[in-house]
Amino acid sequence: ASVCCGALYVVGGYNQRRGHLNAVDCLDPRVGRWQRTCASPLKRYDLALATSEEMVYAMGGCNVEDECSSVVEVFDPRMNRWTFDPNMPFPLQYFGLASFDGP
């Protein structure tokens, strides 16, 4: 999960009934409820999320073939749109990702 523009975003996942997920759910504390937003282009789980400059970055994870991924997707909540950034140099899953506002 990652916080962007004052809201909490949860991307992807896996459940027994539906399998791999590309759902994006958003909790806006000003509204006080979860809402579904623009789905990710890719279904995956065990990915990492971070926010930078009001964009949510979704990286790595496990894809529908259960292969480790190096894909980087970027979600713009203001435009409600996903784009792709260059892939990471190597595939990762089960990893942490953080952002900071530093020099």
| Residue matched to tokens 């523009």 | 5
Q: Report the pLDDT averaged over residues 21-32.
A: 95
Tokens read off for 63: 């894809």
Beta carbons of 44 and 23 less than 8 angstroms apart: no
> Which are the contacts of 46, defined by CB distance < 8 A and separation ≥ 6?
60, 61, 62, 93, 94
Three-state DSSP class for 48? strand
Q: Distance between CA atoms of 5 and 78, rounded to whole angstroms?
A: 9
pLDDT digits (tens, 9 = 90+) for 5-24: 999 999 999 999 999 999 99
Q: Please answer whether residues 35 and 54 qualify as being in contact, where contact means their C-beta atoms are separated by less than 8 angstroms.
A: no
pLDDT on residue 64:
94
Whether 100 shows a pLDDT value over 90: the answer reads no
